[in-house]
Amino acid sequence: MVEHRPWSHLAAHLILIVGVALVLFPVYIAIVASTQGPGEFLRGTLPLLPGGHAVDNYRAMWESGLSRAGAPPVGQMLFNSLVMALAITVGKLSISLLSAFAIVYFRFPFRLFFFWVIFVTLMLPVEVRIIPTFQVVADLGMLNSFAGLSIPLIASATATFLFRQFFMTIPEELLEAARVDGAGPLKFFKDILLPLSITNIAALFVILFIYGWNQYLWPLLITTDPDYYTIVMGIQRMTTAADGDPQWHLVMAAVVMAALPPVLVILSMQHLFVKGLTETEK
């Protein structure tokens, strides 16, 4: 169905351009805003061309942050976010890989029961169980710690399910061949299952990293010490400064920096991601 009608081509491209512009314009505005001086926003109109204060703004945010609004330096918050997001991602991946492995390849009593228990947790996202979870974390003395930030978010069923589905598509003969070749369960997991899942792992890594990075409510609840503020909740603090108008140019600089790590993760994982979608190795 290849048609050569110039008008439909033009229309298609126009729609695409409008779509891209709709998505990119706010990003552009954020970047432009982060280069303005302190006075620009107070005039009421937002300039559409970059200003000359980029270096000042970014340096100020990176080094000292908005201390008046109770936000630590952005560098510190980025680090906290990174630690939390990585802990959540790695934790989720390893736990779900292992539990999917157990569910698919082992016959143990109450296997189905455990399967359903994992399934049920899908219905209980953090927001639903947030109060009891907070209570537990508080009782364990994990408030204001990286452990408290990440551990409650690690247990999740989504990744377990995806891996389970993937493992079930791997032919059983592969396991049997490995058994004949003298590979025990863990060796099979390490030598065969993990290398075969690598593209799935990469895809989930991206998704879970962004999930962890974007956590807002949970860090807001359990961190009271600015040393443990994450960037997403930190930005929120900056905008609700108690004394006067928020300093948008600085907030925008923080926003741009907060958006960079997920972009980097996606770019670096992209080739694996695409490979996983286009190539079947079975």
Partner 1 sequence: MASLKMEGLKKTYPGGVEAVKGIDLAVADSEFVVLVGPSGCGKSTLLRMVAGLESISEGRLCIDERRVNDLEPAQRDIAMVFQNYALYPHMTVFDNLAYGLKNRGIKRDEIRRRVEEAAQMLEIAPFLPRKPRRLSGGQRQRVAMGRALVREPAVFLFDEPLSNLDAKLRVQMRVEIKRLQRRLKTTSLYVTHDQLEAMTLGDRLVVLNEGRIEQVGTPMEIYARPASLFVATFIGSPAMNLIPLDYLKETGNGLLNDLPEGTDLIGIRPDDLRLQAPSEPHLVVEATLELFEAAGAESHLHVRLTGNDQTLVIRTAGQPRVAEGEALRFHVTRDAWHPFNRESGQRTDTLKHRAAAVCLLDACKRSGTHG
Site residues for partner 1 per CB under 8 A: 171, 173-174, 176-183, 187, 191-192, 195-196, 281-282
Cα 77 off chain centre by: 15
Cα 75 off chain centre by: 18
Q: Of 243 and 279, which CB lies nearer to partner 1 in the complex structure? A: 279
Smallest distance, partner 1 to C-beta of residue 280, A: 9
Q: Of 117 and 177, which CB lies nearer to partner 1 in the complex structure? A: 177
**Contact 104/197 with Cβ under 8 angstroms?**
no
Smallest distance, partner 1 to C-beta of residue 202, A: 14
> Strands, DSSP E only, in 127-280?
none
**Nearest in space to 34 (alpha carbons), one of 280, 235, 282:** 235
Smallest distance, partner 1 to C-beta of residue 275, A: 12
Q: Of 181 and 225, which CB lies nearer to partner 1 in the complex structure? A: 181
**In the chain, helix, strand, coil percent, each to 5?**
75, 0, 25
CA dihedral 124, 130, 136, 137 (to 10 degrees): 120
Residue type at position 16? L
Smallest distance, partner 1 to C-beta of residue 265, A: 24
CA atoms within 13 A on the CB side of 61: 26
Q: Of 162 and 192, which CB lies nearer to partner 1 in the complex structure? A: 192
Smallest distance, partner 1 to C-beta of residue 184, A: 8
Using alpha carbons only, give the angle 88, 119, 121 rounded to the nearest 5 degrees.
50
Q: Of 8 and 165, which CB lies nearer to partner 1 in the complex structure? A: 165
Q: Of 68 and 190, which CB lies nearer to partner 1 in the complex structure? A: 190
Smallest distance, partner 1 to C-beta of residue 170, A: 9
